[in-house]
Amino acid sequence: MDGVVSQLPRCLPALHPPLPWPDETVSIGGSRAVLIKPKAPHASVILMPGGDGNIRPGDQGDIHGLTGNQLVRTRHAYAARGLAVLVVDAGTDLGSRG
């Protein structure tokens, strides 16, 4: 069993390979959100994490809050299936145009 466990760190990248597109931080109505946009998305999804809703997006599309939240954790799975993904922070006004 120890041999299997010691090999686990080597096989993890194969199970969850890096995506060919970067996450980016965007501004929506004065709030920040994280956008993941595949080259040719066929649909889109807006993920609104629960709890306090504060994902604390960084400058490069990184997320520093609610990292254990199911929607935050699985955001790349949606993008890998061809969806544009927007993860919004608490207080984001989705009706805003800028």
pTM of the full structure: 0.79
Domain of 67? 21-88
Cα–Cα separations (whole angstroms), residue 91 to 6, 36, 72, 84: 43, 20, 16, 21
pLDDT tens string 50-65: 999 999 999 999 999 9
pLDDT tens string 8-20: 445 444 545 566 7
Q: Does residue 65 lie within any of the structural domains?
A: yes
Q: Does residue 5 lie within any of the structural domains?
A: no
Q: Does residue 98 lie within any of the structural domains?
A: no
Domain count within the chain: 1
